[in-house]
Chain A
Amino acid sequence: MGWLARVYVIPKIGVLDPQGKAVQHSLHTLGYPEVGEVRIGKYLEVRLVEVSRESAEVRLREMCERLLANQVIEDYRFEIDAEPAG
């Protein structure tokens, strides 16, 4: 039994996101004028084993703050789900 954490890292509101802006323009060009702001971030899957759910949460938060996200420019959030070992 282990955990699958889905981690989302996204540019902070107010931080310039030139990639998001470029994609937004492309979508407008393709005929989707309803598209508002687009922001591009990262999606990571982190598997954890031999750890309690509580501990997994605490440790993941630490991982995000130390490495996975740069809090000067990025926000993060994650979801943790049980996953059968295999």
Chain B
Amino acid sequence: MRWGVITFPGSNDDEQTAFVLERLLGETVVRLWHKSESVEGLDCIVLPGGFSYGDYLRCGAVARFSPIMRAVEAFAQRGGVVLGICNGFQILCEAGLLPGALIRNRELDFLCQRVHVRVEAADTIFTNRCRRGDVLDLPIKHGEGCYVADETTLRSLEAGRQIVLRYTDAEGRVTPEANPNGSLGAIAGIRNARGNVFGLMPHPEHACEWLVGGEDGRKIFLSIIASGSGATEMPSVPTSSKVLSGP
């Protein structure tokens, strides 16, 4: 697959995302500067984590008007696959590509920790390598990750099975303690009604090697790759040991 990874001024997970895709998964990555206006020939576009434009005004509010975002919006409208991680999720909400908004964490503090998230829907482009109910161990690092939406939006998210990930404890139970930021319905990740745009607060790109504590993040990228190739079986993937010897 050909992936586009966008760099906004203030993005800081763009290189990590590209590293995972290129070095760990053997994918092709095109770096996209926020000023570029074309996303031609790409299969999936990633809006990475970070603090685009210093999070001025609101997280993602300024990035949403970058020249590249017009191309991303058109790409999404054509059915192109778009993944927004953390700040990328905030940008997608600001752009109206995903419903709702992300506000300051319930306890006001910046959270940098591992969390558990339960896969609520596995028949998606982004989670088809998981089973429904699987619990993934992923890191979060954000100050504004509390998902909010009005009741009508929440109902339509539920009805359309657009909620993809929820914060849970290690056993997959939704509890107040397991919800790190106070998100409505413990929502950690949602997709749009069409199913081709996905935003999540946890960072799969920081959980793709045992060296950094886990590999659950791979499942998200492998799911996208599997949907792209139409594969129904698990793709063969370079193992960590192979990676250590270099590509």
Partner-B contacts on A (CB < 8 A)? 11, 15-16, 18-19, 22, 42, 67-68, 70, 72-73
Contacts and interface: CB of A to CB of B under 8 A. Distances in A.
A68 to B, nearest CB: 7
A72 B101 contact: yes
A16 B182 contact: yes
B58 A22 contact: no
Contacts of B101: 70, 72-73
B108 interface: yes
A18 B107 CA distance: 7
Contacts, number: 38
A86 B101 CA distance: 39
Contact of B149 (A42, A68, A72): A72
B100 A70 contact: no
Q: Is the interface of A mostly helix, strand, loop or mixed?
A: mixed
A68 B57 CA distance: 7
Given A16-B182, A18-B182, A19-B108, A72 B148 contact: yes
Interface residues of B, number: 20
Nearest to B153: A72
A65 to B, nearest CB: 12
Given A67-B57, A70-B58, A73-B148, A16 B65 contact: no
Contacts of B93: 72
Nearest to B60: A70
A70 B108 contact: no
Given A16-B146, A16-B148, A18-B182, A67 B104 contact: no
A18 B108 contact: yes
Interface string B64-104: 01000000000000000000000000000110000111011
A22 B100 contact: no
Contacts of B182: 16, 18
